[in-house]
């Protein structure tokens, strides 16, 4: 029983164990199935993940490729834009350099006429800076008027915008700068076109003030030259006539029957003064003659100025103030002609101030370096003559140097024209400035010779020298009356005189005297013989015969280069017609003593 019980008990336990084992196995199988399912699911998930990863990597690669391509395109675009910006910057710099380098003024505006760009030349001429002018209407900065009438000119931009083509300014256009300064300008305006559309207007203009002054100076010179042709044509004949008249008067004054007759002496003195006045007028005309040269010598300009000015103003209500430095350079001038310049300028100022006033005369050393138009570089003396009269009207100021132009009821209109011609022939220039109501200023420049000494000239009176009054003289002139008059003057002084009408006869007469061993001591020869040999050619032949021959040249054309530089042509002296007996004899005696 015990065994059965034990067996049964053991069998029960075994069965229970088996059941438990079976159950455990079934549970394990379930676990394994679940594990297998989880593994399968994990594998599937991993496969899906791997697939997703691959797809993602592919997408990333594709996107990266797209981004790389886009980045490359962007980089290319950046580089292109940078290149464009560099090109634009270079173009802008080139435009700026060009605008700064160009010699003309340039202004651009928009379609409303407002200023956009100005170059430095435009800034200088208008007086406006670019920063101040930008955005302003053109007419506020670019003010133009008619130089002669003073009336405003229309805005050129409006004309360009209306016509759509290039336009130019009218002649005599003056630009009024911000400070009121006037400049004569020439300009043109053109539309700025881009893609067939007008974007604005560009104005290009330049200062032609100096050019205009030079052109005006040329016109004046041409006018004076035309007068010079007339002057040169009449000078010889007119002065021959005056020589005959003056010489006859002078000889009559020396007659014993006349010396005690006060009435006759007075009449002769009046006639003599009239001849001097006619001579002065002829001399003024001769300053225009083409080829006429000043007879220059070293001189002191202050002395010439003061002597002429003080003489004219003596006893008048006008005072002269001199501002002349002690170190003023010497110069080489024709003192007679420069005295005439001062005389004419002072008389002009005196006429402008009939009630009295002040004339200021200032001299200074001046080194020309291109600042004065029409004047060569070098040392000059600048002289400024200013009065406080009523001034000269703008519409006539450009004509004051014209021959025969005058705004006065008296006078012949030659005074200032003579000044212009004399200064010009001294290689200088003269200008005038005037504001109505504020007086007139004349400025002239004369070449200076720094360091060259001034030789004081010996002053002589009218009395005849009591020295050598003997000798044989040949006189050659084409005018019989002058020959007779000269012969009488010299004979009265004690000389033996022979006369001849032309150079060929003079050569023959001198050659004959030379062959006889009684050569003439002196020859006086007229420079110009119409239709025959004149003094210049005859002198050369005579000097070939005898290099020691003494020859004096005489002419009614006192400004002829031969008269001015007679030594260069073999003459010992020169005497201008008309002359008096004492004038002739002084020159003769001086040459005979040499």
Report which of 293, 398, 280 is spatially closest to residue 343, judged by C-alpha positions. 280
**Which two three-digit tokens encode residue 201?**
């207007």
- The pTM of the full predicted model, rounded to 2 decimals, is 0.50
pLDDT for position 288: 57
Contacts of 78 (CB under 8 A, 6+ apart): none
Residue pair 96/118 in contact by the 8 Å Cβ criterion: no
- Residues linked to residue 357 through DSSP beta bridges, in sequence order: 318
Give the domain 105-207 fold.
Beta-Lactamase (3.30.450)
Q: What is the pLDDT of residue 536?
A: 92
Question: Do the strands 378-387 and 357-368 form a parallel or antiparallel pair, or are they unpaired?
Answer: antiparallel
pLDDT of residue 587: 93
Which pLDDT does position 464 carry in this prediction?
46
Tell me what pLDDT residue 569 has. Answer: 93
CA–CA distances in Å: residue 1 to residues 5, 6, 15, 75, 246: 6, 8, 20, 104, 207
Is the CATH code 3.30.565.10 the one for domain 301-447?
yes
- The parts of the chain modelled with pLDDT lower than 50 are 291, 409, 458-464, 466-467
Long-range contacts of 456-462, Cβ-Cβ distance < 8 Å, separation of 24 or more: 457/297, 460/586, 462/582
Residue 419 is predicted with a pLDDT of 86
CATH code: domain 472-593 is 3.40.50.2300
Confidence (pLDDT) at 448: 92
Alpha-carbon span 472 to 592, nearest angstrom:
11
| CB distance 246 to 577 below 8 Å | no
Number of H helices, E strands in the chain: 17, 19
């Amino acid at each position: 029983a015990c065994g059965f019980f034990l067996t049964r008990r053991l069998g029960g336990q075994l069965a229970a164990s088996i059941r438990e084992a079976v159950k455990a196995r079934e549970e394990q199988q379930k676990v394994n199935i679940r594990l297998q399912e989880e593994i399968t699911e994990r594998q599937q998930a991993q496969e899906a993940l791997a697939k997703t990863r691959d797809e993602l990597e592919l997408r990333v690669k594709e996107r990266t490729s797209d981004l790389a391509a886009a980045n490359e395109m962007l980089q290319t675009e950046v580089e292109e834009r940078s290149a464009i910006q560099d090109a634009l910057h270079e173009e802008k710099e080139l435009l700026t350099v060009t605008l700064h380098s160009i010699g003309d003024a340039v202004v651009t505006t928009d379609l409303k006429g407002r200023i956009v760009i100005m170059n430095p030349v435009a800034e200088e001429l208008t007086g406006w800076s670019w920063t101040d002018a930008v955005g302003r209407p053109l007419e506020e900065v670019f003010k133009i008027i008619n130089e002669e009438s003073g009336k405003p000119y229309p805005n050129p931009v409006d004309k360009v915008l209306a016509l759509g083509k290039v336009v130019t300014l009218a002649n005599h256009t003056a630009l009024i700068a911000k400070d009121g300064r006037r400049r004569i300008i020439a300009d043109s305006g053109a539309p700025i076109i881009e893609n067939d559309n007008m974007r604005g207007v560009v104005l290009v203009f330049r200062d032609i003030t100096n050019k205009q002054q030079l052109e005006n100076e040329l016109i004046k010179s041409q006018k004076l030259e035309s007068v010079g042709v007339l002057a040169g044509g009449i000078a010889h004949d007119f002065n021959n006539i005056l020589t005959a008249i003056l010489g006859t008067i002078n000889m009559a004054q020396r007659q014993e029957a006349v010396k005690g007759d006060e009435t006759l002496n007075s009449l002769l003195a009046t006639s003599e003064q009239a001849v001097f006045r006619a001579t002065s007028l002829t001399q003024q005309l001769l300053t225009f003659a083409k080829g006429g040269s000043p007879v220059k010598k070293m001189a002191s300009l202050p002395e010439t100025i003061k002597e002429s000015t003080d003489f004219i103003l003596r006893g008048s209500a006008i005072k002269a103030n001199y501002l002349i430095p002690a170190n003023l350079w010497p110069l080489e001038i024709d003192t007679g002609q420069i005295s005439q310049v001062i005389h004419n300028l002072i008389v002009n100022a005196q006429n402008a101030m009939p009630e009295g006033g002040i004339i200021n005369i200032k001299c200074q050393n001046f080194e020309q370096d291109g600042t004065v138009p029409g004047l060569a570089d070098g040392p000059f003396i600048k002289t400024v003559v200013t009065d406080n009269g009523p001034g000269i009207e703008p519409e006539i100021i450009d004509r004051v140097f014209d021959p025969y132009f005058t705004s006065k009821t008296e006078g012949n209109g030659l005074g200032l024209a003579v000044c212009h011609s004399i200064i010009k022939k001294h290689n200088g220039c003269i200008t005038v400035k005037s504001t109505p109501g504020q007086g007139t200023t004349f400025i002239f420049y004369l070449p200076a010779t720094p360091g060259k000494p001034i030789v004081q000239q010996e002053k002589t009176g009218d009395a005849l020298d009591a020295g050598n009054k003997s000798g044989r003289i040949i006189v050659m002139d084409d005018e019989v009356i002058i020959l007779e008059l000269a012969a009488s003057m010299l004979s009265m002084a004690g000389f033996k005189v022979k006369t001849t009408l032309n150079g060929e006869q003079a050569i023959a007469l001198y050659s004959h005297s030379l062959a006889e061993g009684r050569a003439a001591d002196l020859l006086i020869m007229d420079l110009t013989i119409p239709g025959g040999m004149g003094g210049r050619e005859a002198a050369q032949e005579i000097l070939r015969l005898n290099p020691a021959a003494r020859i004096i040249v005489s002419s009614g054309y006192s400004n002829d280069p031969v008269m001015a530089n007679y030594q260069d042509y073999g003459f010992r002296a020169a005497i201008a017609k008309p002359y008096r007996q004492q004038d002739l004899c002084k020159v003769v005696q001086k040459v005979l003593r040499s």
